[in-house]
Amino acid sequence: MAEFHLGAGQPHSSLLGVFWGTGVGGGIVLDGKPWTGRGAAAEIGHVVVEIGGAKCPCGRRGCMEAYAGRGAMEARARKLADEGRKTVLFKIMEERNRPRLTSGVWKRALERDDDLAHELIDRALRALGAGVASAVNVLDAEAVVIGGGLGLKLGEPYAERLRTAMMPHLFASARPPAIRLAALGDLGGAIGAALLASRTLTPV
């Protein structure tokens, strides 16, 4: 709601929010109103991108989040590193005094051209491309707003890569949705919560 009213979604009347962070969260605004379904709408992280695929933190298999969520990506990086794959990911994590592979750690590893970081981010982008495009095929929203720790940290070059990754899966590929980076940063969630609370108190 914050991005819709005050941020990147302002020019649009419908949007799909994709929050690429520890997990992959979502939000849907249709005709200017939030769509929450029966309370569990927009769980875009659990759109299935591979039947019988990787185990998701939710316990199911093949969800987009199993490939693109930072939590799942870290688990895979650890497993591959334990098996002997070379990577600077965990070295950077230690240098930066971080307890886990934060978005900043991923960004630095990509800047250092780390093979494993590239491989896992590429895999995440393929999953996001299929999952987000599938959601757009259902909703035909005007815009997709990309936020979340990884989305914001990796920024425009990776939003562009998501655009490319979506194309083969888009049904109406002649008129793809606008892909915009969230404009309100980490505070978006808090601002949106305040907007929703004020709406409840003062119905419009």
Q: Which residues bind Zn ion (CB under 5 A)?
A: 46, 56, 58, 60, 63
Separation between Cα atoms, residue 123 and residue 94, nearest integer Å: 24
Question: Residue 58 or residue 81: which is nearer to Zn ion going by CB?
Answer: 58
Give least dist CB 3 to Zn ion, A. 24
Separation between Cα atoms, residue 182 and residue 62, nearest integer Å: 27
Give least dist CB 54 to Zn ion, A. 10
Question: Residue 63 or residue 93: which is nearer to Zn ion going by CB?
Answer: 63
Question: Residue 34 or residue 71: which is nearer to Zn ion going by CB?
Answer: 71
Give least dist CB 148 to Zn ion, A. 16
Give least dist CB 74 to Zn ion, A. 16
Question: Residue 63 or residue 184: which is nearer to Zn ion going by CB?
Answer: 63
Long-range contacts of 152-157 (CB under 8 A, 24+ apart): 152/103, 152/181, 152/182, 152/185, 152/186, 153/103, 153/104, 153/106, 153/107, 154/103, 154/106, 154/107, 154/110, 154/121, 155/181, 156/181
Question: Residue 91 or residue 123: which is nearer to Zn ion going by CB?
Answer: 123
Give least dist CB 37 to Zn ion, A. 17
User: Phi/psi of residue 195, each to 5°?
Assistant: -65, -45
